[in-house]
Homo-oligomer: A and B are copies of this chain.
Amino acid sequence: MKAEIIAVGTELLLGQVVNTNATFLSEELASLGIDVFYHSVVGDNPNRLEELLTIADKRSDLIVLCGGLGPTDDDLTKQVTARHVGQELVRDEPGYHQLKAFFENSQRRMTENNLRQTLVFKDGVSLPNPNGLAIGIFYQTAATSYLLLPGPPSELQAMFLTHAKPLLLEQFPQEEVLLSRVLRYYGIGESALVTELADLIENQVNPTIAPYAKPNEVTLRLTVKTADEAQGIKQLDALEETVQARVGAYFYGYGEQNSLAETVVGLLIEKKKTVTAAESLTAGLFQATLGGISGVSEVFPGGFVTYSAATKSKLLGIDPGLLESYGTVSQECAEAMAVYARKQAETDYAVAFTGVAGPDELEGQPKGTVWIALASDKGVSSQLYHFNRDRAYIRHSAVMAGLNQIRKELLN
Protein backbone atom coordinates (compact mmCIF):
# COMPACT_ATOMS: atom_id res chain seq x y z
CA MET A 1 0.00 0.00 0.00
CA LYS A 2 1.84 3.08 -1.29
CA ALA A 3 0.52 6.51 -0.49
CA GLU A 4 1.48 10.07 -1.26
CA ILE A 5 0.34 13.41 0.06
CA ILE A 6 -0.28 16.41 -2.18
CA ALA A 7 -0.79 19.78 -0.52
CA VAL A 8 -2.36 22.45 -2.72
CA GLY A 9 -1.76 26.11 -2.00
CA THR A 10 0.37 28.95 -3.35
CA GLU A 11 0.93 30.23 0.20
CA LEU A 12 3.02 27.10 0.86
CA LEU A 13 5.21 27.78 -2.17
CA LEU A 14 5.75 31.37 -1.08
CA GLY A 15 6.98 30.20 2.32
CA GLN A 16 4.14 31.90 4.17
CA VAL A 17 2.83 28.67 5.70
CA VAL A 18 4.59 25.52 6.90
CA ASN A 19 3.23 22.22 5.58
CA THR A 20 2.34 20.71 8.95
CA ASN A 21 -0.57 18.83 7.36
CA ALA A 22 1.87 16.52 5.59
CA THR A 23 3.58 15.81 8.91
CA PHE A 24 0.30 15.03 10.69
CA LEU A 25 -0.99 12.82 7.86
CA SER A 26 2.33 10.98 7.52
CA GLU A 27 2.36 10.01 11.16
CA GLU A 28 -1.28 8.92 11.02
CA LEU A 29 -0.86 6.88 7.83
CA ALA A 30 2.26 5.19 9.25
CA SER A 31 0.24 4.15 12.29
CA LEU A 32 -2.25 2.51 9.91
CA GLY A 33 0.57 0.58 8.24
CA ILE A 34 0.30 2.67 5.06
CA ASP A 35 3.68 3.66 3.57
CA VAL A 36 4.00 7.28 2.49
CA PHE A 37 6.62 7.54 -0.28
CA TYR A 38 6.19 11.15 -1.40
CA HIS A 39 4.97 14.55 -0.29
CA SER A 40 4.32 17.22 -2.90
CA VAL A 41 3.22 20.82 -2.79
CA VAL A 42 1.72 22.58 -5.80
CA GLY A 43 0.20 26.06 -6.13
CA ASP A 44 -3.39 26.98 -6.91
CA ASN A 45 -2.85 26.21 -10.57
CA PRO A 46 -5.13 23.70 -12.36
CA ASN A 47 -2.63 22.57 -15.01
CA ARG A 48 0.19 21.87 -12.58
CA LEU A 49 -2.15 20.04 -10.20
CA GLU A 50 -3.44 17.92 -13.11
CA GLU A 51 0.16 17.06 -14.10
CA LEU A 52 0.97 16.10 -10.54
CA LEU A 53 -2.11 13.84 -10.33
CA THR A 54 -0.98 12.09 -13.51
CA ILE A 55 2.46 11.45 -11.98
CA ALA A 56 0.92 10.34 -8.68
CA ASP A 57 -1.47 7.89 -10.36
CA LYS A 58 1.52 5.97 -11.72
CA ARG A 59 3.36 5.59 -8.44
CA SER A 60 0.77 5.50 -5.64
CA ASP A 61 -2.28 3.48 -4.56
CA LEU A 62 -3.64 6.21 -2.29
CA ILE A 63 -3.40 9.93 -3.03
CA VAL A 64 -4.26 12.27 -0.18
CA LEU A 65 -4.90 15.85 -1.30
CA CYS A 66 -5.14 18.64 1.22
CA GLY A 67 -6.16 22.24 0.74
CA GLY A 68 -8.10 24.02 -1.97
CA LEU A 69 -11.61 23.00 -0.83
CA GLY A 70 -12.57 26.50 0.29
CA PRO A 71 -14.98 29.09 -1.11
CA THR A 72 -12.69 31.25 -3.24
CA ASP A 73 -11.97 31.01 -6.95
CA ASP A 74 -8.45 29.75 -6.39
CA ASP A 75 -9.75 26.76 -4.41
CA LEU A 76 -9.78 24.21 -7.20
CA THR A 77 -8.70 20.84 -5.81
CA LYS A 78 -12.19 19.31 -6.12
CA GLN A 79 -12.74 20.66 -9.59
CA VAL A 80 -9.40 19.46 -10.98
CA THR A 81 -9.58 16.04 -9.29
CA ALA A 82 -13.21 15.51 -10.42
CA ARG A 83 -12.23 16.20 -14.02
CA HIS A 84 -9.14 14.00 -13.64
CA VAL A 85 -11.18 10.96 -12.56
CA GLY A 86 -14.28 11.81 -14.65
CA GLN A 87 -16.64 12.54 -11.78
CA GLU A 88 -19.52 14.98 -11.72
CA LEU A 89 -19.65 17.47 -8.83
CA VAL A 90 -22.96 17.52 -6.93
CA ARG A 91 -24.20 19.26 -3.82
CA ASP A 92 -23.80 17.45 -0.48
CA GLU A 93 -27.17 17.97 1.22
CA PRO A 94 -26.10 17.65 4.90
CA GLY A 95 -23.17 19.97 4.16
CA TYR A 96 -25.49 22.45 2.48
CA HIS A 97 -27.80 22.54 5.52
CA GLN A 98 -24.82 23.02 7.86
CA LEU A 99 -23.61 25.89 5.69
CA LYS A 100 -27.00 27.61 5.67
CA ALA A 101 -27.35 27.18 9.44
CA PHE A 102 -23.85 28.60 10.02
CA PHE A 103 -24.61 31.81 8.18
CA GLU A 104 -28.03 32.13 9.79
CA ASN A 105 -26.56 31.70 13.28
CA SER A 106 -23.71 34.11 12.74
CA GLN A 107 -26.07 36.60 11.08
CA ARG A 108 -23.74 36.98 8.16
CA ARG A 109 -24.81 37.05 4.54
CA MET A 110 -23.97 33.84 2.70
CA THR A 111 -22.28 34.73 -0.56
CA GLU A 112 -22.77 32.46 -3.59
CA ASN A 113 -19.14 31.25 -3.64
CA ASN A 114 -19.66 29.51 -0.28
CA LEU A 115 -21.73 26.85 -2.07
CA ARG A 116 -18.51 25.55 -3.63
CA GLN A 117 -17.54 24.19 -0.24
CA THR A 118 -20.47 21.75 -0.29
CA LEU A 119 -19.71 20.21 -3.70
CA VAL A 120 -18.78 16.52 -3.65
CA PHE A 121 -18.18 13.70 -6.16
CA LYS A 122 -21.37 12.06 -7.43
CA ASP A 123 -20.07 8.54 -6.66
CA GLY A 124 -17.74 9.35 -3.80
CA VAL A 125 -18.12 9.24 -0.02
CA SER A 126 -18.68 12.67 1.56
CA LEU A 127 -16.72 13.45 4.71
CA PRO A 128 -18.37 15.93 7.12
CA ASN A 129 -16.21 18.75 8.51
CA PRO A 130 -16.45 18.96 12.33
CA ASN A 131 -14.59 22.31 12.45
CA GLY A 132 -15.56 24.07 9.25
CA LEU A 133 -17.75 24.22 6.18
CA ALA A 134 -15.75 22.53 3.40
CA ILE A 135 -16.85 18.92 2.85
CA GLY A 136 -14.19 16.25 2.23
CA ILE A 137 -14.31 13.41 -0.31
CA PHE A 138 -13.14 9.80 -0.54
CA TYR A 139 -13.28 8.23 -3.99
CA GLN A 140 -11.89 5.03 -5.52
CA THR A 141 -11.18 4.05 -9.09
CA ALA A 142 -10.12 0.51 -10.00
CA ALA A 143 -6.47 1.43 -9.48
CA THR A 144 -6.30 4.38 -7.12
CA SER A 145 -8.00 5.86 -4.07
CA TYR A 146 -8.31 9.62 -3.57
CA LEU A 147 -8.86 11.37 -0.26
CA LEU A 148 -9.58 15.12 -0.38
CA LEU A 149 -9.22 17.04 2.89
CA PRO A 150 -9.48 20.74 3.77
CA GLY A 151 -6.31 22.84 4.30
CA PRO A 152 -6.76 24.46 7.72
CA PRO A 153 -5.03 22.08 10.18
CA SER A 154 -7.86 22.13 12.73
CA GLU A 155 -10.35 21.09 10.02
CA LEU A 156 -8.04 18.57 8.39
CA GLN A 157 -7.14 16.87 11.66
CA ALA A 158 -10.70 16.64 12.93
CA MET A 159 -12.03 15.35 9.60
CA PHE A 160 -9.20 12.84 9.29
CA LEU A 161 -9.53 11.43 12.80
CA THR A 162 -13.34 11.37 12.88
CA HIS A 163 -14.20 10.31 9.34
CA ALA A 164 -11.24 9.46 7.09
CA LYS A 165 -9.25 7.25 9.46
CA PRO A 166 -12.12 4.81 10.18
CA LEU A 167 -12.80 4.65 6.44
CA LEU A 168 -9.16 3.88 5.61
CA LEU A 169 -9.04 1.23 8.34
CA GLU A 170 -12.12 -0.38 6.81
CA GLN A 171 -10.99 -0.08 3.18
CA PHE A 172 -7.38 -1.07 3.77
CA PRO A 173 -7.36 -3.40 6.74
CA GLN A 174 -3.75 -4.00 7.64
CA GLU A 175 -2.95 -7.36 9.07
CA GLU A 176 0.25 -5.87 10.30
CA VAL A 177 0.70 -2.91 12.62
CA LEU A 178 3.75 -0.80 13.39
CA LEU A 179 5.11 -0.89 16.96
CA SER A 180 7.87 1.51 17.80
CA ARG A 181 10.11 2.40 20.72
CA VAL A 182 12.29 5.49 21.06
CA LEU A 183 15.65 5.33 22.90
CA ARG A 184 17.40 8.57 23.84
CA TYR A 185 21.16 9.16 24.05
CA TYR A 186 23.31 11.99 25.35
CA GLY A 187 27.07 12.40 24.92
CA ILE A 188 27.50 10.61 21.63
CA GLY A 189 27.13 12.18 18.19
CA GLU A 190 24.89 10.74 15.51
CA SER A 191 27.75 9.59 13.33
CA ALA A 192 29.54 7.82 16.19
CA LEU A 193 26.30 6.14 17.29
CA VAL A 194 25.59 5.01 13.76
CA THR A 195 29.13 3.67 13.41
CA GLU A 196 28.68 1.54 16.52
CA LEU A 197 25.50 0.09 15.04
CA ALA A 198 26.60 0.07 11.39
CA ASP A 199 26.11 -3.65 10.74
CA LEU A 200 22.70 -3.67 12.46
CA ILE A 201 21.52 -0.69 10.43
CA GLU A 202 22.94 -2.04 7.19
CA ASN A 203 21.28 -5.43 7.53
CA GLN A 204 18.02 -4.26 9.04
CA VAL A 205 14.78 -5.53 7.59
CA ASN A 206 12.26 -5.89 10.40
CA PRO A 207 12.59 -4.47 13.00
CA THR A 208 14.30 -1.32 11.73
CA ILE A 209 16.53 1.23 13.47
CA ALA A 210 16.18 4.91 12.61
CA PRO A 211 18.68 7.34 14.17
CA TYR A 212 17.71 10.97 14.49
CA ALA A 213 19.94 13.82 15.66
CA LYS A 214 18.47 16.62 17.75
CA PRO A 215 20.45 19.48 19.29
CA ASN A 216 22.86 17.82 21.74
CA GLU A 217 21.19 14.44 21.68
CA VAL A 218 20.39 11.52 19.42
CA THR A 219 17.36 9.28 19.39
CA LEU A 220 16.97 5.81 17.94
CA ARG A 221 13.52 4.68 16.87
CA LEU A 222 13.17 0.91 16.79
CA THR A 223 10.16 -0.11 14.70
CA VAL A 224 8.70 -3.51 14.01
CA LYS A 225 5.94 -4.37 11.58
CA THR A 226 4.00 -7.31 12.96
CA ALA A 227 0.68 -9.11 12.89
CA ASP A 228 1.33 -10.42 16.43
CA GLU A 229 1.78 -7.69 19.02
CA ALA A 230 3.34 -9.90 21.71
CA GLN A 231 5.81 -11.25 19.18
CA GLY A 232 6.59 -7.72 18.01
CA ILE A 233 7.37 -6.57 21.53
CA LYS A 234 9.74 -9.53 21.96
CA GLN A 235 11.51 -8.54 18.73
CA LEU A 236 11.91 -4.98 19.96
CA ASP A 237 13.21 -6.23 23.32
CA ALA A 238 15.81 -8.38 21.61
CA LEU A 239 16.94 -5.57 19.31
CA GLU A 240 17.09 -3.12 22.20
CA GLU A 241 19.32 -5.52 24.13
CA THR A 242 21.75 -5.79 21.20
CA VAL A 243 21.78 -2.02 20.72
CA GLN A 244 22.29 -1.25 24.39
CA ALA A 245 25.16 -3.71 24.71
CA ARG A 246 27.04 -1.38 22.36
CA VAL A 247 25.84 2.13 23.17
CA GLY A 248 23.96 1.77 26.46
CA ALA A 249 26.58 3.87 28.23
CA TYR A 250 25.05 6.96 26.58
CA PHE A 251 21.39 5.98 27.06
CA TYR A 252 19.32 8.13 29.37
CA GLY A 253 15.65 7.38 28.74
CA TYR A 254 12.75 6.26 26.59
CA GLY A 255 10.06 8.02 24.63
CA GLU A 256 9.41 10.85 22.16
CA GLN A 257 8.09 13.19 24.87
CA ASN A 258 11.03 12.68 27.24
CA SER A 259 14.11 14.91 27.78
CA LEU A 260 17.31 14.98 29.81
CA ALA A 261 15.69 17.60 32.08
CA GLU A 262 12.60 15.40 32.61
CA THR A 263 14.88 12.52 33.53
CA VAL A 264 16.89 14.61 36.01
CA VAL A 265 13.79 16.07 37.68
CA GLY A 266 12.32 12.56 37.90
CA LEU A 267 15.48 11.27 39.59
CA LEU A 268 15.61 14.20 42.02
CA ILE A 269 11.98 13.62 43.02
CA GLU A 270 12.55 9.88 43.34
CA LYS A 271 15.63 10.36 45.53
CA LYS A 272 14.16 13.33 47.41
CA LYS A 273 17.11 15.59 46.62
CA THR A 274 17.08 19.31 45.89
CA VAL A 275 19.14 21.35 43.45
CA THR A 276 20.08 24.97 42.86
CA ALA A 277 22.25 26.66 40.27
CA ALA A 278 24.54 29.62 39.73
CA GLU A 279 24.65 30.56 36.08
CA SER A 280 26.96 32.87 34.24
CA LEU A 281 27.05 32.27 30.47
CA THR A 282 23.77 30.34 30.52
CA ALA A 283 22.09 33.30 32.30
CA GLY A 284 19.18 31.30 33.73
CA LEU A 285 18.70 28.79 30.92
CA PHE A 286 19.50 25.80 33.13
CA GLN A 287 16.98 26.89 35.74
CA ALA A 288 14.39 27.86 33.10
CA THR A 289 14.78 24.37 31.63
CA LEU A 290 14.09 22.80 35.03
CA GLY A 291 11.19 25.24 35.45
CA GLY A 292 9.60 23.90 32.29
CA ILE A 293 8.85 20.60 33.98
CA SER A 294 5.71 20.13 36.08
CA GLY A 295 6.44 19.13 39.65
CA VAL A 296 9.92 20.65 39.72
CA SER A 297 8.97 22.88 42.66
CA GLU A 298 9.41 19.83 44.93
CA VAL A 299 13.14 19.73 44.21
CA PHE A 300 14.12 23.19 42.96
CA PRO A 301 13.71 26.19 45.30
CA GLY A 302 15.48 28.68 43.02
CA GLY A 303 18.96 30.00 42.36
CA PHE A 304 21.25 32.64 40.93
CA VAL A 305 22.07 34.28 37.65
CA THR A 306 25.53 35.73 38.17
CA TYR A 307 26.36 37.17 34.80
CA SER A 308 28.90 39.83 35.75
CA ALA A 309 31.96 39.31 37.95
CA ALA A 310 30.47 41.74 40.49
CA THR A 311 27.28 39.68 41.00
CA LYS A 312 29.39 36.57 41.53
CA SER A 313 30.74 38.27 44.62
CA LYS A 314 27.64 40.27 45.54
CA LEU A 315 24.98 37.55 45.25
CA LEU A 316 27.05 34.49 46.09
CA GLY A 317 29.69 35.94 48.41
CA ILE A 318 32.71 34.77 46.41
CA ASP A 319 35.95 36.57 47.38
CA PRO A 320 36.67 39.15 44.63
CA GLY A 321 40.34 38.25 45.09
CA LEU A 322 39.68 34.72 43.83
CA LEU A 323 38.02 36.09 40.69
CA GLU A 324 40.92 38.46 40.12
CA SER A 325 43.53 35.73 40.56
CA TYR A 326 41.94 33.04 38.44
CA GLY A 327 39.49 34.92 36.20
CA THR A 328 35.77 34.15 35.94
CA VAL A 329 36.26 31.52 33.25
CA SER A 330 38.16 29.15 35.52
CA GLN A 331 37.79 25.94 37.45
CA GLU A 332 38.24 27.87 40.69
CA CYS A 333 35.42 30.27 39.86
CA ALA A 334 33.03 27.48 38.75
CA GLU A 335 33.69 25.48 41.90
CA ALA A 336 33.31 28.50 44.17
CA MET A 337 30.03 29.39 42.45
CA ALA A 338 28.67 25.89 43.06
CA VAL A 339 29.83 25.74 46.69
CA TYR A 340 28.47 29.18 47.61
CA ALA A 341 25.18 28.68 45.73
CA ARG A 342 24.58 25.39 47.55
CA LYS A 343 25.31 27.02 50.90
CA GLN A 344 23.05 29.99 50.25
CA ALA A 345 20.11 28.05 48.81
CA GLU A 346 20.52 25.19 51.32
CA THR A 347 20.07 22.44 48.72
CA ASP A 348 21.60 18.98 48.30
CA TYR A 349 23.20 19.88 45.00
CA ALA A 350 24.32 23.00 43.17
CA VAL A 351 25.39 23.23 39.54
CA ALA A 352 27.47 26.21 38.38
CA PHE A 353 28.17 27.38 34.83
CA THR A 354 30.86 29.82 33.76
CA GLY A 355 32.36 30.24 30.31
CA VAL A 356 32.38 32.05 27.00
CA ALA A 357 29.08 32.14 25.07
CA GLY A 358 30.58 34.24 22.30
CA PRO A 359 30.61 35.69 19.74
CA ASP A 360 33.81 37.20 21.19
CA GLU A 361 36.46 35.58 23.35
CA LEU A 362 36.65 36.43 27.05
CA GLU A 363 39.65 36.68 29.35
CA GLY A 364 41.75 35.34 26.47
CA GLN A 365 39.70 32.14 26.24
CA PRO A 366 37.93 31.21 22.99
CA LYS A 367 34.14 31.08 22.74
CA GLY A 368 32.77 27.69 23.70
CA THR A 369 35.12 27.28 26.69
CA VAL A 370 32.87 26.28 29.62
CA TRP A 371 33.50 25.10 33.17
CA ILE A 372 30.65 23.30 34.91
CA ALA A 373 30.93 22.46 38.61
CA LEU A 374 28.74 20.28 40.80
CA ALA A 375 28.68 20.69 44.57
CA SER A 376 27.16 18.19 46.99
CA ASP A 377 27.67 17.08 50.57
CA LYS A 378 30.66 15.12 49.25
CA GLY A 379 32.43 18.25 48.05
CA VAL A 380 32.75 19.80 44.62
CA SER A 381 33.87 18.52 41.21
CA SER A 382 34.09 20.22 37.85
CA GLN A 383 34.57 19.58 34.18
CA LEU A 384 35.95 21.64 31.33
CA TYR A 385 34.16 21.63 27.96
CA HIS A 386 34.93 23.07 24.54
CA PHE A 387 31.64 23.54 22.76
CA ASN A 388 31.24 24.48 19.12
CA ARG A 389 28.93 26.59 16.95
CA ASP A 390 26.99 29.73 17.86
CA ARG A 391 25.95 31.44 21.08
CA ALA A 392 22.59 29.70 21.37
CA TYR A 393 24.11 26.28 20.74
CA ILE A 394 26.97 26.80 23.20
CA ARG A 395 24.51 27.79 25.95
CA HIS A 396 22.24 24.84 25.18
CA SER A 397 25.24 22.49 25.14
CA ALA A 398 26.25 23.78 28.58
CA VAL A 399 22.77 23.22 30.01
CA MET A 400 22.67 19.66 28.68
CA ALA A 401 26.17 18.92 30.05
CA GLY A 402 25.14 20.29 33.47
CA LEU A 403 22.00 18.14 33.46
CA ASN A 404 24.10 15.12 32.61
CA GLN A 405 26.61 15.79 35.39
CA ILE A 406 23.87 15.79 37.99
CA ARG A 407 22.15 12.78 36.38
CA LYS A 408 25.34 10.75 36.68
CA GLU A 409 25.79 11.89 40.28
CA LEU A 410 22.23 10.83 41.10
CA LEU A 411 22.71 7.42 39.52
CA ASN A 412 25.96 6.83 41.43
Contact with B along A61-86 (1 / 0, CB 8 A): 00000000011110000000000000
Q: Is A331 on the interface with B (CB-CB < 8 A)?
A: no
Q: Is A284 on the interface with B (CB-CB < 8 A)?
A: yes
Q: Which residues of B contact A358 (CB under 8 A)?
A: 294
Segment among A169-177, A188-196, A241-249, A374-382 that sits at the interface with chain B: A188-196
Count, chain A residues at interface, CB 8 A? 109
Of the candidates A36, A70, A72, A191, the one having the most CB atoms from chain B within 10 angstroms of its own CB is A191
Oligomeric state, in number of copies?
Answer: 2
Q: Is A10 on the interface with B (CB-CB < 8 A)?
A: yes
Q: Which residues of B contact A194 (CB under 8 A)?
A: 71-73, 113
Chain B residue at minimum C-beta to C-beta distance from A316: B302
Contact with B along A189-222 (1 / 0, CB 8 A): 1111011001001100000001111000000010
Do the beta carbons of B211 and A314 come within 8 Å of each other?
no
A114 to chain B, nearest CB (A): 6
A135 to chain B, nearest CB (A): 15
Contact with B along A299-322 (1 / 0, CB 8 A): 011111111101110110000000
User: CA A378 – CA B335 in complex, angstroms?
Assistant: 38
A90 to chain B, nearest CB (A): 21
A378 to chain B, nearest CB (A): 23
Q: Which residues of B contact A48 (CB under 8 A)?
A: 37-38
